[in-house]
Each structure stands twice: as structure tokens, then as C-alpha cells.
Structure 1
Amino acid sequence: MPDTTSTSPQSNLASSIGSNLLSIQGLDLDQFATLHTSVQGWTTKAGTGVKFIEARGLPIVDVVLRFKAGTTQDTDQSGLAALTLYMLDEGSQRHTAAQHAEHLEHLGAITKKEIGLEHATLSLRSLGNKARLDAALELFIDLAAHPAFPPPALDKIKPQLQRLNASQERQPEVRARSEAFRHLFNGHPYGNYLGSTHQGIAAVTVQDLRRFHQRAYAASNLEMVMVGDLSLSEAQAIAQRISQALPQGWTAAELPPVPVATSATINIEQPGASTAILLALPMDVPANDPEFPRLTLASEVLAGGFESRLMTELRQRRGLTYSVRSTVKPLNAGGVFVVEWEIAPQYAQASQTLVETLLREFIDSGPTQAQLQLARKQLAGDLLRAVAQNQSLASLLTEVTHQRQPDDHLNTYVERISAITPADVRSVMQRRLHLEQKVLVSVGPDVEQQPLPPTDQ
């Protein structure tokens, strides 16, 4: 006889969902989780700054090497920094590029590289098993410390980098950023957003690569981050092993202050179905300045999510764009506050006027308490997601290390943004963001301009 009291999988699922919903009744969803992430920090004998988080949940180790070897370090030969980084995995003094790749694949290890204005980054992800990790580290150190820079590989990579730059320049949003940086940072190393030029790439020689590597990839020019299945003593041994193998004794000088910005409107004609627009304001607020989190919250309220001010006006009420976003980008010698969106070409000018008006009103009035609380939730959620996985935690720790944040930064971040008031945000915007210095760039087809269509609401 069948059991009439049994339940179906669907009813079990419904019961489970109902139980979970009941279990959160009375929970204050405005309260944020507290992080307890222990960051250990030290400096190796060779001068490498190291940050380490022990994470035993998975048998995986992430190692990130961030050298102050970005494109701002090669202003005499624009392209040298990028080519040096891209040539590192083209063979070492012990292994060919194919052998390196084959050995790493056999170990299940992954390496990545990235170039930016201020840094060049190499990362390794490996299983934490001692034998596999040791072998992966050996290959990783060989790649970073003893590159061969074979001339045939340089001849292959040069045209690849030139084609990549040309392709990026054809992307309207990248072209807009490039033009904004060129104007805001005129005469400064930050002014070359892509970080290399066709002529600079063509002129680089193997001897140039070796000289640059010997300086810029020195242990004293490195910030190292480790996250994973390691004890503190094991992490210290790895850090010492890496820093000892690298060139020694050179550290990049601090970049000069950025020039005083002047306002500009730059229109670049380029075929396409839409127009990319960027509004940039100079922002000389370091990431470790106590006022920086207030600007981050301001950016989140302005265009950080679906309920943000600009998204509400441009997408929900007017249907003008799929996305509008704002970014606070701190740099060691300056920074920018950026708003970016794409729109139908005939509304380019009218949308610029609208965004500038809304930004001015926001700076004058500041956020509401409700808007600020929503922004806090979004930033707290981003942080919790980042620390939930070793790889994203390593990337986050690398970023805050580069920003010279204190070791308790991750654990106190939510508490600090929770204490910020609407008046705090309004005050910092009025003192730090100046619309008379704005740079407005549009990249798109030249068409007859029209007024904005009526709102839907």
C-alpha cells in the first residue's frame, strides 16, 4: 500500500524555502556581516613587501607578484614595459616557452599577467600539495627571474601588441578614455592611457628588455601577496625564495605630481551605431585618504547600480541607454572621477547636458539617507563576494596593498562606510569635485542632434 504521508521533491523544496524565510523573520537586513580576515605582513631581506592570508578551506595557493613596472616607467620607450611583461613566458634560461606551458599544465597550475599604468602583475594559482606547489613555484620563479627574451619571440610579439593597440583604439569607450587621459594628464606619464605607441614598440630591442627587467623586476620593486593553504612559516619561506631569485637593489621613483587640469570638450567622429561618452573630473584623493570611501559611496549612488540616480534618469525614465556607470580611479600621483555611457548618436549632446545637470545637482544636494544605505549594501556585498573565494581575495588584497592600506582595512571597511553620513558625502564632493575642470569626450558618428525624447514617467 502506498505511503500517503510521503511528500514530493517539489513540496520538500517549498517547505525548505518556507523554513528559510521564516528563519530570517525579525532579522535586520541593514546590519552588515563583520569580517575577520587576518592579514600578516612583513618585508623580506631583499626589500619585498609581503601580505599573506591563511585560507585552509581549499588545497589551493594563489601567489601574486605586483612590480612597479607599469607603462609609466618606460616614458622614453613607450612599449618597453608591456613588451617586457609579455615576453616573460616566451622562454627562460632553462625552458622553452612550450616546455614551460607543458610543465605547468601537467601540474595543473595557472599563470597570468597584466600590465597597467603603475604596475605589471604576475600571478600563480597552484594546488597546495607540497610537491606540486614546489614544482609550480620553481617554474614561476624561473619565468619571472630568468627570462631568455629570444629575438624571434620579440619579432612575433611586436606586431601582436601593435594590432591589439589599434583594435583598442577602434573601441569607442577605450578611445574616449584615452583622449580624456591625454588631456587631463598632458605631459605626465599617465597621459598615455594605452601605455605604448606604434613607434615605441617598433624601436624596442632585446637589450632594452634585459636592461628594463634587471631594474624593474627587482625584489625591492615588488609587492607580493599570498592567499591559501599555507602556514605563516611556509609563506615566509616562499616569499624569501622568490625575492632572493629576482634581480636586486632597484626601486622605482615616485611619479611627479599631475598638472593642473583644464576643462575641454572633445568630439571624435567615428562610424558606429552608438556614441560613447565620458565625463571625467580630476580627483587628487589617494585611496588611503580617509575621505576616499566617501567618494566611493558618491560614485555608487550616482551610477553604481540599477537604482542609481543616473540609471534611473537615463534608462528607467527615458530609455536612452542600457548602462551608465561611474568610477573612482585613484592613482599614486592623482586620480579621476569618471562617468561613462553609450547612447544613440542623435542624443549625444542632449544627454551630456542632462548628465552634467544631474551631476551638478547631486554635488549640490548630496545623497538621501536611503540612497546612501543602498550604496552601503552594494559595497558590502561586493566585499563579501570578493573575500569568499581565494582568487578574488588575492586580487583584492593585491589592490589594497598597492593602495597602501593598513592590514585591518578589509575588516574595518564596512564599519567605516557605515559611519558616513549624507552630509559627509555632500561635503567631500563639493570640496574635491570641480565641474569647471571637467573633460567631456564623445566618440561616434556625426549626425544631426535632437532634443531628448519625453520621459516615460
Structure 2
Amino acid sequence: MSHLRMRSLLLAAVVLLCPAAAHAIPVDKATSDPGVSLLVSRQRAIPMVSIVIVLRGGTLAEPPDKGGVAAVTAELLQRGTRKHPGKQLATAFDAIGAQFAVGASNDMITLSLSTLTEHLDEALDLAAEVLADPAFSQEDFEKVRGEAIADLKASEEDPHTVASRVFLRTLYGDHPYGRQVRGTQASLRRLTREDCRAYWKSISGAKGALLTAAGDVTGPDLTRRIRRHLAPWLARPGTPFGAPPPLPPPPDAPRIEKIDRPFTQSTIFVGERGIARNDPDYYAIEIFNYVLGGGGFTSRLLDEIRDNLGLAYSVSSDFDERLLPGPFVISLQTKNKTAREALRLVHREVNRALRDGITEKELEDAKAYLTGSYPRRYDTNAEMARFLASAEFYGLGSDYDRIYPARIRAVTRAEVLRAGQAHVHPERFMTVVVGRLRETGWKRP
């Protein structure tokens, strides 16, 4: 099948799925031995199927001294199997017009596959090789690790990356959430190929895994194909990843970390630990954050600090909800000489939101945007498969496309205020400043 036809069908998927995205997603649920949860949404618009396989763990499953092993392992999985070593694996996927990728995050490893329905069996055979018999060659390992170290070294020139690294470490200490998914240069230099093999063996068992699919296939049909073509993987049930390591106690006092770098502007991260993805306050916090700094040009922080006062090039807020409470961070970039004033205004706006709440118009505008834009999160087969995987992984339900808008619409101003006051504590915010400190007025540490 030509690449031109594959690209044409991918474009058609966007066009044909968008009008239907506002309707409920049909889902078939099943379980395949040895305990793989299957969710399949049949979409007949085009003859394609997208599949996501989720393995629990991510950086949470990394040994304490092996930061970055999840990310290196994910990249290695794309570099060949015993049957298709090196570039032969990519060539085999390419020959049938299939797209394949592996990614690592804090909570999981994901394998993503998109293929024409007529080549689904062949694509699943290749995926089975990756799952059950990856090559992990020494040559590929050295190359992937070297590339990762070089990327981390280059990222030290990026103030946003530097601020993020220090911010996470300050909030979470030695917990896996306290480091970036890519690890550090030091931890990567300690890694060996056997570390990657051991990590993969510990999380790649089929038992407890999650598989979602969207496209031109039925649930019963895909279940039969999975049992046939992924048999080598299904024969290795393994032991599912257990409870994640508990978080250490949160910092109970404010702290500021100052990083002196010869940048023309300061990058500031300020915030604390936020909420877990399954927290009941998630919907009220979504609206609180949208109004505060997550709503782009309509947010209070951007309107006041950038548009009205011209003190920041960019400013936004974000709750990164994960299996455990992820970070809540307000980030901004400003001139070095206005860094202290910009930070003062951030605190002022946060305190105003916690004291006075949001207006009725802000509430309605937030609801309209969040519910109106939500279907765009799954307007292709690949996005729909990822959406179903995320909802199932975090225990939100296979009908989450209907649950989310209903719960957002039900939130009241009082609930937004209560949730903000419960989860946002500016009196103990952690702050990281990266810039030329002598121009900011802050002394070097």
C-alpha cells in the first residue's frame, strides 16, 4: 500500500471523524487471557485501525538509581527485534504503511500502532516481536544512550528545562516524580543494556495490561486477532506493576531556588503539588485553572501580567494530574529586572482568586470552552484510542466522553472556590528562578 494512500486516509480520518466526535463513543469491552483489558470502538469511516497498548509503570517502576531507564528502553524497543534487527523493524512497518511508536511517561509505557485494516495481522505480528522479543543490541543501546545524554546536555541551555528539573526535585525529592522522564546525565551514564532488559522484563508482562483500539474492526474480531498474533506476548503474563512508591511529605514552607544563568530574561516556575487524576475535585480544578492561567488569552494571569502591565512575555498555569498528585505550576518569562515584580503579581492574582472566587461569566465561559473543545481530543482513530486508554488507565470509565462534559457543566462557583482553597496554597509555594540574578535583585545562593 503506497504512503500516499496512507496519508490520504489519515487526512480523511480527520475530516470524517470530526462531525461525529460530539456523539458518544461506542465501546466494546472484553478481557483476554491472561488478564489483558480490551476496549474497542468501531469506526467504519475509513479502512484503518489504531491500537494503543498500555503497560503500567513508567518512571514509577524505575529503580531509584536508574533514572531514565524507562525512556531509553522505550526508544530501544523501536530499534529492532531479534527477527527484525536494527532498521529492519522500521522498514517492515514502513512496507505495509503502518505507523509504530513507543513512549515513556511518569505512569506508563505506551505502544501505539496505526495501520490499514488489510494489514492489521501483519502489523500485530511485528508488534508481538517488539513486546516479546526485542533485540536490545549493545550497539543500539550505546547509540540511544549517547543521544539521550547529548539531548540532556543541550537542554541545559534551555531555561524552561532547567527550571522544570529543579522545580520537580524541590517538590518531590528522590521520588520518581522528582526527576524528568529522561533522567539525568549522571543516571544515564550509569545505565547498562542489562538495566534496560531487566526493566522491560519487570513491566512488560501481559497480565494487567490495557489494549484499546479505534477503527474498522469489531471487538470480537480484534479479540480473536490479538489471541492469535500476540500469542508470544500473552504467553508471558508476568507480574503486574503494583502500588506506586508513596510520595514523601510535601514541603510545608515556601522556598525559592535561584539559578544564576547568563540569560537575557528570567524564567520562573512557582507552585506546589496538585491533585491526582482521579481526584473528585478534578472538574472544579479544571475550571479554576482555566480562569487563572490555563485559558490562554482569556486567563487572568495573562490578561493582567502581560496584556495590562507588559511584565511578561508569557504566563500560564497548569495542573499535571497523574496516578499520584502531580505538580501544579505557574510558569512565566519576564525581563530580569521585572522578575520580582512579576512574581509578586502572580501571588496577588492567585490570592484574589482564592479570596473572591470567579465570576459567573468566567464560569460560563470556562464551561463553554472546556465542553466545546473536548471532542477535539479524539477526532481521529489514533486520538480516540489514546483517549480510551487514558480514561481506562485512570479508572474514569469507558463512557468518559459523556461523563466529562456532564460533570463540567454541573460545577458551581462555590465548588470552584472550595476546590481552589483546598488545593492551592500560595503561602507555601515553591519558586524557581533561572536568569541573571544580579539584574533581578536576588542574591546568589
TM-score normalised by L of structure 1: 0.86
Shift of 1:243: 5.6
Alignment partner of 1:413 is 2:404: yes
Q: Tell me, in whole angstroms, the C-alpha distance in 2 between the residues paired with 1:295 and 1:240.
A: 41
Distance 1:123 1:250, change over 3 A: same
SS of the equivalent of 2:214 reads: strand
Shift of 1:254: 1.3
Question: Structure 2 counterpart of 1:54, which letter?
Answer: R
Counterpart of 1:209 in structure 2 is 196
Larger radius of gyration: 1
For the residues of structure 2 that align with 1:288 and 1:221, how far apart are their CA atoms?
Answer: 19
Could you tell me which residue of structure 2 aligns to residue 159 of structure 1?
146
Which residue number in structure 1 is paired with residue 15 of structure 2? none
Alignment of 1:314 with 2:305, yes or no, is yes
- The separation in 2 between residues aligned to 1:278 and 1:369, in whole angstroms, is 29
Q: How does 1:143-154 map to 2 (within 5 A)?
A: 143-154=130-141
CA separation of 1:345/1:237 partners in 2, compared to 1, >3 Å: closer, same or farther?
farther
Name the CA distance, whole Å, in 2 between partners of 1:430 and 1:199: 39
CA distance in 1, matches of 2:270, 2:425: 12
Determine whether 1:110 maps to 2:99.
yes
Query: C-alpha offsets along residues 52-80 of structure 1, whole Å, 9 cap, x if unaligned?
Result: 22111122111111212412222232232
Please name the residue that 2:127 is paired with. 140
- Alignment of 1:393 with 2:384, yes or no, is yes
- 2:157 is aligned to 170
Matches within 5 A, 1:158-237: 158-237=145-224
Q: CA deviation at 1:424?
A: 0.7
Q: 1:50 to 1:437 in 2, by over 3 A?
A: farther
Secondary structure of the corresponding residue to residue 115 of structure 2: strand
Structure 1 stretch displaced more, 395-404 or 114-123: 395-404
**Residues 1:297 and 2:257 aligned together:** no
More displaced 10-residue stretch of structure 1: 138-147 or 240-249:
240-249
- The AA in structure 2 aligned to 1:367 is I
- Asked whether the equivalents of residues 54 and 209 of structure 2 are also in contact (C-alpha less than 8 Å), the reply is yes
What residue in structure 1 maps to residue 18 of structure 2?
none
Does the 8 A contact of 2:29 with 2:219 survive in 1? no
Structure 1, 348-357 or 46-55: larger mean CA deviation? 46-55
Partner of 1:265: 256
- Residue number among 50, 59, 75 corresponding to 2:47 in the alignment: 59
The change in CA–CA distance for 1:309 and 1:153 in structure 2 (over 3 A counts) is: same
Aligned to 2:89: 100
1:335 equivalent to 2:349? Answer: no
Letter in 2 for 1:441: V
Distance 1:328 1:242 in 2: 39
Report the CA distance between 1:34 and its aligned residue: 5.7
What SS does the corresponding residue of 1:338 show, helix, strand or coil? strand
Distance apart, 1:396 and its partner CA: 2.1
Please point out which of 50, 63, 66 is paired with 2:38.
50
The 4+ residue runs of structure 1 with deviation greater than 6 A are none
Q: CA deviation at 1:302?
A: 0.8
- Three-state SS of the structure 2 residue aligned to 1:219 is coil
Summarize the alignment of residues 418-433 of structure 1 with structure 2, pairs less than 5 Å apart.
418-433=409-424
How far 1:347 moved relative to its partner?
0.9
Aligned residues of 2:305 and 2:312 also touching (Cα < 8 A): yes
Does structure 2 retain, via aligned residues, the 8 Å contact 1:261–1:437? no
Partner SS state of residue 320, structure 2: strand
d(CA) in 2 for partners of 1:383, 1:239: 30
| Whole-angstrom CA distance in 2 between matches of 1:143 and 1:153 | 15
Between the aligned residues of both structures, percent identity stands at: 27
Distance in 2, Cα, partners of 1:208 & 1:312: 48
Contact residue 165 and residue 194 of structure 1 kept, 8 A: no
Q: Distance in 2 between matches of 1:241 and 1:377?
A: 45
Are 1:349 and 2:345 matched, yes or no?
Answer: no
CA RMSD of aligned residues (A): 1.9
Structure 1 alignment gaps of length 5 or more: 1-32, 451-457
Residue 81 of structure 2 contacts residue 136 of structure 2 at CA under 8 Å; is this kept in 1? Answer: yes
Contiguous gaps of at least 5 residues in structure 2? 1-20
What TM-score do the two structures reach when normalised by structure 2?
0.88
